[in-house]
Chain A
Amino acid sequence: MNQEKTVTRRGFLDWLLGAGLGAWAFGFVAPVISYVWPAQRRGPSIQTVSAGKAEEFPEWHSKIVAVSGHPVIVVHTPQGFRAFSAICTHLGCIVQWDAGRRQIVCPCHAGFFDINGKVISGPPPKPLPEHGVAVVNNEVLVKSS
């Protein structure tokens, strides 16, 4: 009787240990697989950010997207999409699109940029740096530089 009980207890302990180790292994493997699975479509060498679908982007409209943590203004011109850094070169305010004038305007000190990012009037000392834009599979992709 005792012998049987000892065998069962030993077996139970072994089973518990086995299950515990199995759970431990799972607890390690699961996060690792999750980690290895790409968090975004591309890793830290992210090259492009999507600005939405091209067909949902009317002409002479604009959008602001974040590329590598910086705001970028994307404008749909009849000649195609253009994208510029949305940080005004004067004092760093975020620029806006003036649909009426068809110019990029900075609300802080009335700096005006044309559709090529060049300064038309106002205090900004330099043009807005341009970002590359490409339409791939109907998606508007903005490059990080």
Chain B
Amino acid sequence: MLIGVLCWSALAAHAADTAWADKYPEQTKLFTGSAHQGAGLKCADCHAADPKSQPARDKKAIAEMCATCHSDVRKMNAYGLATDQLDHYKTSKHGEALFGKGDQRVAVCTDCHGIHDILKVKSPQARTYPTNIPQTCGRCHSDAALMGAYKLPADVVDKYKTSYHAKMVFEKGDLSGPTCVTCHGNHGATPPGTKEVGQVCGKCHTRQRELFGKSPHAEAAQAGLISECVGCHGNHAIQKATVELFGTACVQCHAKDPKQLALRDTISGMLRTAGARFVQAQERVRDATIRGLATDDEQLFLQEVKTQITQLEALQHTLSTNNLSLVAARAEELVSQTLKDVDRLEQIEQYKRRSLLVIWVFLSVMAFLFWAKHRQLEQKTAL
């Protein structure tokens, strides 16, 4: 009797499953291979028991439904997943609009993770895998009409794609590079305020932030007069910082301050000079190496110079010419030493040329002796 009941339940469940699959073949196909299927979920676990009923449309309901498992510590523990997503979400701009104003146009769980074909974040095909994030966010944030309603720009993803950060992730394959969520957060997505931007950038660029904190700009940033980091470097379309940035960044505020512009010129001048001298030394060492001169020590010096210049690039955030001149002076010392050494190597080549003269003199004498002997023998034969 018991066996009969068990068999009948299994059959009934199977029949129910098949009912869902028959009615919704597309969704079943998408569900196959998904993380939820792998965890043993079935259609009825999210949808109502009756396949004929409508799927959930209200985003608030979706968020709360996902949270029934994903905010339950006991359920998520075995999978090692966090359970604070909904709490974070409620603090995000998306969450505030949905839960506060009932705005159904914002993103909710399914918009970013997918509906039936949700994959683990670590899977490269997942919508939330780092290389797919810009595209996922861009579904809404590149939609001009949608963004226009919130008075938000619709070009942020395009700008990001031109940035050095995008190059890191997409061209160099360095997944530690930032995507949208690195700076904005994921579930608690909020653009960082002007006071917090520095902290976001400082997550990776620790040294630069530390040094910036020692500069006169730090106060201005605290007072909200300038945006820390973003004020000079930009945000979404950020490029690799070069000395050229001095030409465009400072005049944004100091266009009419000759004193500050003079300081700018001094600092950028130091960087330019150090860079130019390094290139000069590098080319001379390279030429000497190709010629076959012994440039081992000089190549080591060049690596040291490069170290000093990289330090300069970070140090300039302090805007203090004292530290900078020390490091610049060390770089120049090394460059001079390198160039002197290459001169010395070429001097040795000069000695070789001088000894050539000696050799020629010797050979001329020998040739003359051979010739004289030859003449002597000919005369002897003639006798």
Contact = CB atoms under 8 A, between A and B. Distances in A.
Contacts of A20: 362, 365-366, 369
A123 B205 CA distance: 8
Nearest to A69: B296
A10 B376 contact: yes
Contacts of B369: 13, 16-17, 20
Nearest to B307: A93
Contacts of A17: 369-370, 373
Interface string A76-97: 0000000000010001111000
Contact of B303 (A92, A121, A125): A92
B299 A69 contact: yes
Interface stretch (B2-10, B206-214, B217-225, B256-264): B206-214
Contact of B300 (A21, A66, A108): A66
Contacts of B296: 66, 69
A93 B310 CA distance: 7
Interface residues of A, number: 26
A23 interface: yes
B306 interface: yes
B329 interface: no
B341 interface: no
A125 B176 contact: yes
B65 interface: no
A52 interface: no
A93 B311 contact: yes
A132 interface: no
A22 to B, nearest CB: 11
B207 A108 contact: yes
A110 interface: yes
A17 B35 CA distance: 95
A129 interface: no
- Of the candidates B207, B210, B311, B373, the one having the most CB atoms from chain A within 10 angstroms of its own CB is B207
B48 interface: no
A46 B240 CA distance: 40
Interface in B176-194: 176
Nearest to B295: A69
A69 B366 contact: no
A13 B373 contact: yes
A71 interface: yes
Nearest to B174: A125
Contacts of B310: 91-93, 108-109
Contacts of B306: 92-93
Interface string A44-88: 000000000000000000000010010100000000000000010
B167 to A, nearest CB: 15
Given A17-B369, A108-B207, A69 B314 contact: no
B204 interface: yes
B207 A110 contact: yes
Interface in B291-309: 296-297, 299-300, 303-304, 306-307
Interface in A112-140: 121-123, 125
Contacts of B365: 20
Nearest to B206: A110
9 contacts: A66-B297, A66-B300, A69-B300, A87-B303, A109-B207, A110-B207, A110-B210, A123-B206, A125-B174
Q: Which 10 A-B pairs have the closest CB atoms?
A: A93-B307, A110-B207, A108-B310, A109-B207, A94-B307, A20-B366, A93-B310, A17-B369, A69-B296, A108-B311
